[in-house]
Chain A
Amino acid sequence: DAGVIQSPRHEVTEMGQEVTLRCKPISGHDYLFWYRQTMMRGLELLIYFNNNVPIDDSGMPEDRFSAKMPNASFSTLKIQPSEPRDSAVYFCASSLQYNEQFFGPGTRLTVL
């Protein structure tokens, strides 16, 4: 069975550019989570969806970040405009039960 799929795996962009990260959750999972991982702050929850509806976006750093889930098999995390401090690894995770989350391989974002 395919796990959580994320694309791209690596993204290098310049400050001010728009960045879109993509995620395909495991089929049948009704929860989808976006996390950010940095050395300084570890794993941080940005936002999560239940049945495609955003439930908690309190972890989204600021208005430059937005996330959508137009259907059960696809979600995007967008940063516009991007800044160097956004450089991190972004993970998508999905779950059937809220807490047993399965993570994707991550997108390593570098903003120059």
Chain B
Amino acid sequence: EVQLLESGGGLVQPGGSLRLACAASRNYAMSWVRQAPGKGLEWVSAISHSGTSSYYADSVKGRFTISRDNSKNTLYLQMSSLRAEDTAVYYCARDRTLGTRPHDAFDIWGQGTMVTVSS
């Protein structure tokens, strides 16, 4: 059974940076989805299976960068200029359709990694 495992979360000061990683599924588009404490799900970013195309929510555009290294089966989220409102559990999630741009449901989710932005 395929499993996704996120890492890299932690406490960071406002304005700081952090890089999340996810042991991901090669050949599938992937996304990052976050959930602030007590709140709903918010999509953050997606990347095609090849890594050539990426997409961002307006709330993180220009501050976050999604990437992947398929040779290492790893997905990344580089977060910079972090704000208190970025505090959330960050999940990586797999697009259910093999080998396409991101466009389908998320069939597999990691357990999440907590990011806290606070001074």
Say whether A and B bind each other.
no
Q: Hey, which bits of chain B sit against chain A, CB under 8 A?
A: none
Q: Hey, which bits of chain A sit against chain B, CB under 8 A?
A: none
